[in-house]
Structure 1
Amino acid sequence: MGKKALIAMSGGVDSSVAAYLMKEAGYDCIGVTMKLYDNEDIGMEQEKTCCSLSDIEDARSVAVKLGIPYYVFNFKADFKEKVIDNFIESYRCGMTPNPCIECNRHLKFAHLWQKARELQCDVVVTGHYARITEDGQGYHLLKGKDSAKDQSYVLYSLTQEQLAHTCFPLGGYTKEEIRRIAEEQGFFNAAKKDSQDICFIPDGDYRSFIEKTTGQSSQPGDFVDKDGNVLGTHKGYYCYTIGQRRGLGISAPQSLYVTEIRPEENKVVLGSNDDLFHSHLTADNFNWIEEVRPDEVIKARIRYHQVEKEATARVTQDGRVEVDFLEPQRAITKGQSVVLYRGDAVVGGGRIIE
């Protein structure tokens, strides 16, 4: 009896080709779409988000073309608790979260894997651009071949057990090659645009989303400098992120940037570009995929599409991880993730808390 694969299908070209590649590799495939929210819940038109009825029909039509079973799983309650509520709470705490990481951690590689086991599948398959290898010592998570599409940064939470039962068939391809395969197979979504990074806020208006979801309006407060001098009035501290320059509404002789957010005081600190550079950060909720020596110079990435920079990392007594960069980094932001690399391999990652 052949191996079975559960394919997470969003209706986009990447997951569609992932399903095709797994079938070509001899797997008995089942296509599934995770229903994460209703479009009405987030105030968006159906065609603008990745959970729309049209996307479900797109995924279903590809599954029919491939001749594989297809299901829709209702994960709305889990998504609200693990992703949306976490997103809102993070902003309220003065952080800038990355909900894609939480969705991968809790939905795609936890709840979806549970469904895979119920359906007696051997692997969960997604359209991420990353690679997994195994060398007898354990499993390794590597960057995707296409550096412009590499998604290893948002996958650092994968455990050894999850890596053993996960497959990323697109990892060795470029985006152009994937679209070409889709065209060759006659997939109607071959030229479909990529989905938004944050699927439940496709217009990027975090403030309106938080206010509508919570029923509470943001409270204005003081913009201050690092000495506490009042510079103006902000619209609500969670409307801003570290490094932001535009949209402050303050006239000053030199450019001002958001350098700190103080939710307990409802204040946003502004400063110069030089004030944004720091060499040290602390992270929690850290997941280690590979070992690292305290004195080993590795590389670290503090946001999704950033080139990694040389750093060292050490674990503190309370389990947190301290990262020290060899050169100061701009706009280290609480709530984002720091991901450590050794070459193309992900060493581990966690949430930046200070």
Structure 2
Amino acid sequence: MHSSEPSNSLGLPGRAEDHRVVVAMSGGVDSSVVAGLLAREGFNVVGMTLQLYDHGAATAKKGACCAGSDIHDARVVAERLGIAHYVLDYESRFQEGVIAAFADAYARGETPVPCIACNQTVKFTDLLSAARTLGASALATGHYVASRVERGRRRLFRPHDAQRDQSYFLFATTAEQLDYVRFPLGDLPKDRVRELAAEMGLVVADKPDSQDICFVPDGRYSNIVAAMRPDATEEGPIRHVDGRVLGRHAGVIGYTVGQRRGLNIAVGEPLFVVRIDAETNELIVGPREALRTRRIILRDTNWLGDPLEIGDETSIYARVRSTRPPAPGLVRRTADGLEVELDEGEEGVAPGQACVLYASNAPRAEILGGGFIQRTTANMAPRLVDA
């Protein structure tokens, strides 16, 4: 009889040979190395690749993910590793849960993050369900984030390689999902991952990382939104925060909070998009200081930290964009969700973006959860009327 104590890298009871593990294989170097490491350890690895869309330019585009060439690469890697490999057609689910939601958000004047929606819907809901159906003990991915059991349950942490940190895109992973999903690259630097791929003889060892929104092959997201939500391309007024109408905009989908270029107005001072009012089809602009906000109201929240009851508050570090460092502040539990108060404030905080909360600003900090930005103090400020 095998011991129930973990004796493998995934922290599963017993030996690696006792477990089937599904690896989400995107066709990139990271997930390919995960499959190779787990197969080498002795797990019964099953690779699964998602077909999420199929439109000409994207299937051949370099630098995207889940494209036709990536499916081919994942299949070649699986053959090299001697593991089973399946391609799952989730096009309709991806269209509904990610692409349509992306277009709707822009039409509402928000700035969505489709990679988070993809993790929430397709990867950690549908793919996870498929892995369970196969009798797998875990689903493993190539994300650069770490998880481990502390204080009685599995928790999420920033990875070893801070330059590759993907925790911003994974804050919505629920506690139940964390118990099942594993992130084997959390303790590895990217350079070592590429070395491992070369050692394994994988064709993707030097493959460039994906950087674009996968379903926007030409980088022009407004074309996608305009085709799906044509009403969002209607012209409207550009209004200063003091009430003056300064010009006309070409449709709210072409702008985001914090934007300065492309406004085509000249008033003798730099102006930035402060708010997008999709209901009135107005673009509100103002000076840089009008962008700074301290109070952020979150919707669709996910809390992974220790229990936080209504009225409770705790110190956190908040990240309002994936490219920004976490900033100090407080989070407060309300009847409606979470409120964040930033010590110094942030500029260009846009509705629809994620606000991810960390226990500290340390390199390997715990991710406490977060939510999507519903509104901020700047967005809630009353707008002045025309003089």
Contiguous gaps of at least 5 residues in structure 2: 1-16, 376-387
Is 1:311 paired with 2:329?
A: yes
Cα contact 1:300–1:310 (8 A) shared by 2: yes
Amino acid across the alignment from 1:102:
A
Query: For each residue in 1:27-74, what CA deviation from the matched residue of structure 2 results, as whole angstroms up to 9, or x when unmatched?
Result: 11001111111124xx64533442322111100000000000111001
- Equivalent of 2:145 in 117, 123, 130: 130
Query: For each residue in 1:83-126, what CA deviation from the matched residue of structure 2 results, as whole angstroms up to 9, or x when unmatched?
Result: 11111111111100001111101111110011001111111111
User: Could you say what the CA RMSD is over the residues aligned between the two structures, in angstroms?
Assistant: 1.5
Is 1:229 paired with 2:252?
A: no
The match for 1:90 is: 105
The match for 2:93 is: 78
| Distance in 2 of aligned mates of 1:285 and 1:277 | 23
Is 1:264 paired with 2:279?
A: yes
| Distance in 2 of aligned mates of 1:264 and 1:161 | 37
The match for 1:118 is: 133
The match for 1:158 is: 173
Query: For each residue in 1:279-315, what CA deviation from the matched residue of structure 2 results, as whole angstroms up to 9, or x when unmatched?
Result: 1010011111112663422111111121101111112
Q: Larger C-alpha radius of gyration, 1 or 2?
A: 2
Amino acid across the alignment from 2:347:
R
Contiguous gaps of at least 5 residues in structure 1: none
| Distance in 2 of aligned mates of 1:207 and 1:44 | 16
The Cα of 1:212 is off from its aligned counterpart by: 2.2
Cα contact 1:39–1:51 (8 A) shared by 2: no
- Equivalent of 1:290 in 281, 296, 305: 305
Q: Residues 54, 243 of structure 1: CA spacing in aligned structure 2 closer, same or farther, 3 A cutoff?
A: same
SS at match of 1:353: strand
Query: For each residue in 1:244-285, what CA deviation from the matched residue of structure 2 results, as whole angstroms up to 9, or x when unmatched?
Result: 111222223121111110111111011111111011010011
| Distance in 1 of aligned mates of 2:341 and 2:230 | 40
The Cα of 1:232 is off from its aligned counterpart by: 1.1
| Distance in 2 of aligned mates of 1:263 and 1:161 | 36
Is 1:346 paired with 2:373?
A: no
Amino acid across the alignment from 1:154:
F
Matches within 5 A, 1:1-354: 2-40=18-56, 44=58, 46-48=60-62, 49-135=64-150, 137-214=152-229, 218-291=233-306, 294-318=312-336, 320-343=337-360, 344-354=365-375
SS at match of 1:148: helix
Amino acid across the alignment from 2:266:
S
| Distance in 1 of aligned mates of 2:196 and 2:66 | 24
Query: For each residue in 1:195-244, what CA deviation from the matched residue of structure 2 results, as whole angstroms up to 9, or x when unmatched?
Result: 12411114321211112234557111111101221111111012100101
| Distance in 2 of aligned mates of 1:21 and 1:133 | 18
The Cα of 1:177 is off from its aligned counterpart by: 1.0
Cα contact 1:196–1:202 (8 A) shared by 2: no
Query: For each residue in 1:291-341, what CA deviation from the matched residue of structure 2 results, as whole angstroms up to 9, or x when unmatched?
Result: 2663422111111121101111112123x2110011111111100011110
Output the TM-score relative to the length of structure 1: 0.95
| Distance in 1 of aligned mates of 2:230 and 2:268 | 38
| Distance in 1 of aligned mates of 2:217 and 2:297 | 30
Cα contact 1:100–1:197 (8 A) shared by 2: no
